[in-house]
Structure 1
């Protein structure tokens, strides 16, 4: 067996970012930029009013007060989308609305609350300095300015910013195509009739969901039976994908056929077992032109190894840093932990807030890798290094938060 760190290094070394493709801006949500986005215009493209009020020359109203307002001649109006066509001269004012272009000659805006007006004139009851309530051209960004960097996963806010920069198309990394193959006579699809010795298949659907939340496209190949022909035939459906992920059949039991079937067909394995719990029966290699990641069959083992190995692969393929793992926080144990053995352990646990406002973590009493209900309830993992010493209740430990939800929100 090799360590988790060595397994990750070997696996990730086999991948590089996928090529770029061009997509329309509305289709960019959640995608990762292959090229930076630069503004195609200046925003705002003109000096614009930041308030509803009156566009004036600051020098004309330098002496204005509530008790001694300055009288200006009203010469027109500037509204958003409808600029005043003339120029503001001495003793003149233009009614202006938020976002409207500031007319030539004007250098300040007085809020409407500080003025009173009729059809011909406006009385200004407060002095303002030049530039007051004016957003200068380029106040937000200038044409040619980089708005979004290469390697950024686009959020809804990013889409809005690109739109403001008049950018209709984006260069993004192609979404990873991930083939998922479950194996075993003992599993059936949800809703299908169950035989007397069968259980419902959960791993493939969970993996497909994880791939989707991380920006990939999952292709569920179905369930292969425990025969060499079935495993080989269904695995062939991964041709054209960027990765084949199998679940189950990676151990050394009489019915664990994935390893042997693929080996008979020229698959080379760089990883065959990892010193971790859950998830020792993990393998990685290449099936022809398609990389192969074989995950264990127990559902919690599948979930944990997918987070530790599949998730960084998906990130790397999309041009993101693969070494940015699950977000880590420090938390206080509510229960003691026993000393660990030679395998790296990942205990399922829940996070909460203690009476003092500090994060506290509670490991589940049962850590069996078949208990899916507790894995769904978990919101963090407590990683424990090989031969870690016992920890008392109250000790501070590092926990990995399980926030594998949709990244584009």
Structure 2
């Protein structure tokens, strides 16, 4: 089978997965980062009344037109406790920020522009324009206005306006549900004492972190031994839990001990493709099983993480209607790079920001896909396209950001 280019593989993966349309209603405190499922119309007008934008004195513009005018102070309007009377000629009401503008008043004179007299009067020291420092009723939105739209990503500003529109709960799209299944007789959970032929299973935790970082809920199916019945039972558990995506870790190739792919096919999976023209991560599998997308990641930790970033991250953002995340930018390579072969290479590297603000990528000498420490120390992956010619130190290269450099 010919190796599939990375871009073609990603396109086929996304084209075969429909965005989630299921809706749930959640409280405002839980809605940060969620995607609004329906347009929201304001349930009230805001502000509900003309109110003062400043502390000062509410009165008639005609009385404020001449500097030095003395006016009678007849009452007070505070937030939540407005002045019940009417402001007539020659009168003002002491007013505070957010308080209702009393009947008869059309302008606010800020307190710094008034002199308080001993007999309960004030003298103006400035002539404000008509309507100055008054927030008119409905300035923000009116009842019935569509303020937020379906598909909006809820952030601090959008949650604030939703609350202001009098919504205690919001309709949002259901998060994608990802079931993660690690397979292998050699695997033990962290905290175990491995035998001579065993290793600690680590991939689940990094892949789960990537899934959660992209808006998914995670179901950890644990570690399953290399046994068809056990693998089939775990797959059935993912289906019963309503998983939108099943991620398998290891065993997706076609060796004598790689049972995941064949077991899934026997369970009804339609295999779309496997084997990608990339390094690390060649044995990646994609299929569908009764509406559930199946993504089989390689068993080597670095291969698993690189494939999760390249395929699982955009898949989840597509399913969850989240804006795409662009990790790609350019840097200069700190060392010479050899010519590449037919597979797209993702080279682990540190990033250094030079004094002029440009990025420089320093590759690690060891690039083995089992080396978790190297990946953990990497800030980026240098992307080397298939058949890329050799590049000298200082050449511009494409990179995929893992984390921003400290300095």
Establish whether TM, by shorter chain, passes 0.5: yes
Residues 353-401 of structure 1: CA deviation (Å, up to 9, x unaligned): 2122223332333222112122222232222221122222222233222
Residues 201-247 of structure 1: CA deviation (Å, up to 9, x unaligned): 11112222222221111110111112222222222211121111100
**For the residues of structure 2 that align with 1:403 and 1:14, how far apart are their CA atoms?**
30
293-302 or 257-266: which moved more? Answer: 257-266
Corresponding residue for residue 275 of structure 1: 277
Corresponding residue for residue 238 of structure 2: 238
Aligned length: 398
CA RMSD of aligned residues (A): 2.0
What does 1:239-278 align with in structure 2 at a 5 Å threshold?
Answer: 239=239, 240-278=242-280
Q: Does 1:318 pair with 2:320? A: yes
Q: Secondary structure at the residue paired with 1:179?
A: strand
What does 1:172-187 align with in structure 2 at a 5 Å threshold?
Answer: 172-187=172-187
**For the residues of structure 2 that align with 1:122 and 1:259, how far apart are their CA atoms?**
85
Q: Secondary structure at the residue paired with 1:181?
A: strand
Corresponding residue for residue 103 of structure 2: 104
What does 1:126-205 align with in structure 2 at a 5 Å threshold?
Answer: 126-205=126-205
Corresponding residue for residue 356 of structure 2: 356
1:265 Cα offset (Å): 3.2
54-63 or 217-226: which moved more? Answer: 54-63
* Cα pair distance change 1:365/1:89, threshold 3 Å: farther
| TM-score normalised over the length of structure 1 | 0.91
Q: Which runs of 5+ in 2 are unaligned?
A: none
Corresponding residue for residue 407 of structure 1: none
| TM-score normalised over the length of structure 2 | 0.92
**For the residues of structure 2 that align with 1:26 and 1:3, how far apart are their CA atoms?**
43
101-110 or 292-301: which moved more? Answer: 101-110
* Cα pair distance change 1:385/1:36, threshold 3 Å: farther
* Cα pair distance change 1:41/1:279, threshold 3 Å: same
**For the residues of structure 2 that align with 1:43 and 1:216, how far apart are their CA atoms?**
35
**Higher RCO (Cα < 8 Å, 6 or more apart):** 1
Q: Secondary structure at the residue paired with 2:264?
A: helix
1:288 Cα offset (Å): 4.1
What does 1:10-409 align with in structure 2 at a 5 Å threshold?
Answer: 10-18=12-20, 19-64=22-67, 69-117=68-116, 118=118, 120-239=120-239, 240-321=242-323, 324-402=324-402
Corresponding residue for residue 4 of structure 1: 6
1:297 Cα offset (Å): 0.5
1:5 Cα offset (Å): 1.4
Q: Secondary structure at the residue paired with 2:302?
A: helix
**For the residues of structure 1 that align with 2:41 and 2:349, how far apart are their CA atoms?**
44
Q: Secondary structure at the residue paired with 1:233?
A: helix
Q: Which runs of 5+ in 1 are unaligned?
A: 405-409
The answer to whether the 8 A contact 1:17-1:173 is kept is no
**For the residues of structure 1 that align with 2:145 and 2:368, how far apart are their CA atoms?**
54
* Cα pair distance change 1:107/1:362, threshold 3 Å: farther
1:310 Cα offset (Å): 0.9
The answer to whether the 8 A contact 1:247-1:297 is kept is yes
Q: Secondary structure at the residue paired with 1:400?
A: strand
